[in-house]
Structure 1
Amino acid sequence: MISSTRTRTQQTRMVATPLGDLAVRVAGFGPAKVVLWPSIFTDGHIYDGLVSRLAAEATFFLIDGPGHGLSPGVPREFTMAEAASAWLSVMDSFGLNRAAVGGVSWGGLAAAEVALTAPSRVERLILMNTPMDVSGDQPKFRDRLIAFGARWMVRGKMFRDGVAGSFFDPGTLASSPSYREAFHGMLTASDPVALAASVRSVILHGEPLRSRLARISVPTLLIAGKEDALYPLEGQASAALLLQDGRFEPVAGRHISPVEAPDEVAASLRAFLAHDRLP
């Protein structure tokens, strides 16, 4: 979708999990095993740019979150602990005892939950544009509006354009017509009930991650968009200082860094995967 580079992509597999069947696409053929979950309002194709750049160095297992992409989802809200359980179901299905796990935003939250609850299954943790302070106890008005729109307005172009404006620099989708069409197409085709349930689970019922970062024992790469208005750079930098074994990498763009800055993100990920421990 974002690159036409040959990556030996396998057929998508549907994996039964506590959150319904999840679509998992395998791409790349390198020795490192990397499992990635996307942001809300996106699917696993946000990682196509990374796959095309790192295919010889890693095999990627790209999950579509519940209610997103090809994953039908469930018509109920759920916890990040349940998302972590679903994640482990995916790893079990592919025979992955350990892997690097990560994701953008929602994907980062779910990956962090895996690292907190099942650290023996995690070689490395990759947090990209991940909210550190989202709290179900005190949701912001913006978050309530997004949750409402996910259920009732997601098929309207105005809402989709609003999401795109928060997620991407104006030039990103303009320079990638195929991804722009795919982004709008996924939201238009999605089941609004299942998609909205996932969105509410993340932004209205989440547990803040910042206070738990010090408990993460695995090497962690924290990537942040320099222009990300949703989760500004300063807050991401201060969160990185709380990690036991962390590296902080600011990159160009807003909220979906693998799409907006694939070269920078790929370079950071390549260096991160190549080291047994962080310097």
Structure 2
Amino acid sequence: MSVASLPDHAPLLHTSVAGSPIAYRRHGQGMPLLLIHGWGGSSRYWRGTLATLADQHDVIALDLPGYGDSPALPGHTTGRQLAELVLAFADQLGLKQFDLNGHSFSGGVAAYLAARSPQRVRRLVLSNFSTFRNERERQIVDQVHKVMTLWMMLRRPWMAERRFFYRTVSSRFFYRTPNDDALLRESFADFLKMDTQTAVESAASSSDPAINAALREIQCPTMIIGARHDNIMPTPGTFKAAEMIPDCRLVWIERCGHLPMIERPDVYHSLLADFLA
């Protein structure tokens, strides 16, 4: 059964954080587990995680502002601002302590949050996260963001209905691209839907030198889940991130691309469950 065809145990809910509407999904009971999607995603790609871990966790996946069904914040948006908003979101839901899982770009968001509020985050997971090892790599990241900015300007809503577009773009995110066109079309629609300014500014903030400083300040037990065939996050930077975090376990999923919760859900959710238990 594909993620797209999973029963939706967690329909969208809505709240307001500091005056900003936030959409989210919630399912299960136990220790709260906050899931933060990556750049271009939404809470929808966590549906399998909500369904699988709900017997042990109160699993909560939000749409960051400017993504999914959450409108963009007024003004500028950076990774650190998003971390503050996620913490305020946890306050709004009355979560005194929680486990935290940030995927891809939001690994940096999760690192900011964990470093700033060590008493709030019990365990931290960074999924498909990578960092820059030196100034040259940081500048390369900046150049990638300029290309992404151009792509943001060229996208059009009708592309979501063209099989060539959503399969071509999706192929970069998987080791083996799923045959499920509904899933790929849904994910591509999330990409097309995100707010342009939010997308550009949040992507640019992923090269912020403060990310590496935050990694070194994380105090809680941490696990980084890397994918051997991730074409989005360079694997050398994943090793570097694991070295920076004082109490960190690094595990790898073989034959997997950038979205292990979709491509290798059994392996991915087993790693999560074991670490958080």
Question: Partner letter of residue 169 of structure 1?
Answer: Y
Q: Shift in Å at residue 141 of structure 1?
A: 2.7
Q: For residues 32 and 204 of structure 1, do their structure 2 counterparts lie closer, same or farther at Cα, with a shift above 3 Å needed?
A: same
Which consecutive residues of structure 2, in runs of 5 or more, have no partner in the other structure? none
Given that 2:48 and 2:265 are in contact with CA atoms closer than 8 Å, whether structure 1 keeps it comes out as: yes
Q: Shift in Å at residue 257 of structure 1?
A: 1.9
Q: What is the 5 A alignment of 1:21-60? A: 21-27=21-27, 29-60=28-59
CA distance in 1, matches of 2:151, 2:268: 30
Structure 1 equivalent of residue 201 of structure 2: 201
Structure 2 equivalent of residue 9 of structure 1: 10
Structure 2 equivalent of residue 277 of structure 1: none
Question: Partner letter of residue 255 of structure 1?
Answer: H
How many aligned positions are there? Answer: 266
Which consecutive residues of structure 1, in runs of 5 or more, have no partner in the other structure? 275-279
3-state SS of 1:263 partner? helix
Given that 1:223 and 1:250 are in contact with CA atoms closer than 8 Å, whether structure 2 keeps it comes out as: yes
The answer to which of 2-11 and 62-71 deviates more is 2-11
Structure 1 equivalent of residue 191 of structure 2: 187
Q: Normalising by structure 2, what TM-score? A: 0.85
CA distance in 2, matches of 1:171, 1:137: 29
Q: For residues 178 and 52 of structure 1, do their structure 2 counterparts lie closer, same or farther at Cα, with a shift above 3 Å needed?
A: farther
Q: What is the 5 A alignment of 1:28-107? A: 29-74=28-73, 76-107=75-106
- Percentage of pairs with the same residue: 22
Given that 1:74 and 1:197 are in contact with CA atoms closer than 8 Å, whether structure 2 keeps it comes out as: no
Q: For residues 250 and 98 of structure 1, do their structure 2 counterparts lie closer, same or farther at Cα, with a shift above 3 Å needed?
A: same
Q: Shift in Å at residue 162 of structure 1?
A: 5.2
Q: Normalising by structure 1, what TM-score? A: 0.84
Q: For residues 31 and 7 of structure 1, do their structure 2 counterparts lie closer, same or farther at Cα, with a shift above 3 Å needed?
A: farther
Structure 2 equivalent of residue 233 of structure 1: 235
Question: Partner letter of residue 266 of structure 1?
Answer: H
Q: What is the 5 A alignment of 1:164-179? A: 164-172=170-178, 174=179, 176-179=180-183
CA distance in 2, matches of 1:98, 1:106: 23
Q: Shift in Å at residue 54 of structure 1?
A: 1.4
Structure 2 equivalent of residue 244 of structure 1: 246
